[in-house]
Each structure stands twice: as structure tokens, then as C-alpha cells.
Structure 1
């Protein structure tokens, strides 16, 4: 099945302009109405590869998160924001956990989402379980966060960046943050093209219902962090 793609012009992170651009985009995606129904719990999955503030184009910008969260809340949805920073920040097994409140404060998410009933979590906080991969290249089973069992749908919020290993990081690559840190590290050791194929595998195990890509300011160079 083909994906529906909506491109919207937005040249700055002004809250009103971002909100309008996101709203226009969602209007062009027919499945949005079914996804955003009152009472449904929605996981918002930003890119927090390395917790940085909005002055650097490392993480999904807070205004993009806010715009999507507002639209979900106005539709009557319950909100959960979750991600898991890169494995070298959290330890091979994910046991060395950064404090979730500090993580989401550093990125500016807590401040910008004031007034919205948002729950915050690290993917590792719920543990991981096996998700089978249909027709895998390298990964027959993906170990993904159990938070996926606690929600009715997922909105993927990637950041457009170059990537030193995969050349580009976007909607497919961002779902790699749902993967258990140990498996994520092992797959990073594959090198390309095997790493890119493994990312496709883990994406096939669980596909978010919707992706909203933050490309207002993209990163080029030594991404996903140092560009």
C-alpha cells in the first residue's frame, strides 16, 4: 500500500506557523481522523538521539511536538511522549537510565507542553518484548518497547538529518529508538548496507500509523549529532 505524503511550507519555528503547517498536513492524510479519536492513547515518538536544546538541530523541535500534541489533545486523545537516547548514553542493556524528567526538560519539551496533560516515559521503563519481522533481511525478531502494548496508536516525530552511517535519518530510522539498547548496538556494528537493511527490518515489525517529519531546519554534515 502506498503511503500518503503531504509537504507543507514552514520557514521558522514560530508556534503559530508550525501549528498551521502541521494541521494542513494532517488534513491531507485521510487516516488521521480514524487515528485521532476521543479516548485513544497516542504515543508521540520524537527523535532524542542525544538530548540537546532546540538551538541545535539534533532533536525534534519542541514546537513540532507541541503542535502535534495540541491537535491530539483537542481530538480527545491521551498523550504519551517516549523515546530512548542512544545506547552509549544508557548502557548496553539500558540499565543506566537517565532521569526521564531531566531528559525531557533538556530538550525543551516539558516547558513547551505546559498546560497539556502529557505523560513522559523512557522506552526502557516498560521493558521490551519480541516482535516478529515479516520477510527479514537480517533481523527475524525485533526487541521493541512494551510501551507499544499500552497505546492505541503511534505518531512518529523524526528530525531530518544526514547520518554518518546510513546517509540519511528520517521517518524509518527514527523508529530505531523503539528497539532495545542491546539489540540496537549490535545492529549498529553491522555496517552498511546491512545496518540500513536491519533498520528496515525493525520498522517492518512495527509501523507507526503516522509520521510528522521536522524539516524546518535540517542537519547536514556529521549527523545525527555533530552536523
Structure 2
């Protein structure tokens, strides 16, 4: 109990110190770098994962490839992938974005695919029966019904990217992981605990934002159906 209180005191002292909120190594600057890495990675991953998931889910072609991606994603070590990409691509923002995007694509792709393929075939047939084109079936029928799983994939990817972006600091880049890496190098555990706390809070904020988005975007019927599934 005393250890916990001591750690909380360390976090409180670190967060309330004015020097942590100013300059190139302050929390606002590191947070901006972290959000930049995370936001860009999630944007590119959404473009890739959502497009492929909708295409494969609607046509049914390439389902085996989606399963292969799912299995491969479970086997890829996060830190190893970042180090490998940086070693090949050099120390810059682009290799880190490539690595984070690669890690974020699978949950978006898999959940989008599963959501679209899970739509009742009778519903699809009824939509085609009233004269809808394949594009209209996808946009007006499959996507709305698959939205709970699509949002779940986006949420999982977003939280994963926010947490994983800390490893960008290991090859020498910025972000909130800089506090953790520098703190370990200096044996400054106040810096390590403080930086870790900010990352956890950021992940929780992302979770809350997606929960709010889910309530706004999904109809009560879809929310109830998703909670039962």
C-alpha cells in the first residue's frame, strides 16, 4: 500500500511540475508527436483495412487471405517489427508509420470482413430483389448492419496504435515513449511512471471517445443486437 501511495505521489509531482508542460521535451510537445504518429497510422490503416474488408466481405473472394492476415498479426512481435522496419528504412517518421499501420490494419480488416459476411443472406437477396445495385447493397444494407463490428475493429486498432506508438522512442524518435525510454536510461523512475501514466490516460480517452461515437452512430436496435452477439 505504501509503495502504491509513493508511486501516486511521484506521478502527482511529475505531472504538476511546470517544467513538464513547456519546451521541446514537455508533455504537450510529446503528446502532439504521439498523436501525429497514431493519427496518421490509424488513417492509413483505416483506408487499407476498411477498403479490403468491404471488398472481400461483399464478394466473398479472398477470405482465405483475410484468415492468413489474422494469424500472421498474432505472430508479429510489435517491437521487433518497428526495429526491423526502421533498420531497413532508416531513422525517420515514415518507417515508424509503416510499422504502426501494418499493426493496425488486421483488426480493422478482420472485423469489417466479419461484419459484412455476417449479414443475413436473405436481407441481401431482398435488397437485390427490389432493384438495388451491388454498390447500393454494400452501402445501404451491409455497411449499416456491419457497423458495430467495424467500429469495434477501429477501436481496437486505435487503442493498439496509441499504446504501441511508445516504441517509436526506441529508435530515437519522439512521442510519449520518449519519457519511458529516457527515464529507463537515466534510472529516473518518476519519468518512467509519469510517461506511462500519460499513455494509459490517452488510451482511456480513446476508449471513451469510441464508446461515445458508438452511441451516436448506432441505432438502439443495432446496439442491442451487437451486445447480444
For the aligned pair, the TM-score class normalised by the smaller chain equals: under 0.3
TM-score (norm 1): 0.23
Max Rg structure:
2
TM score, norm. by length of structure 2: 0.23
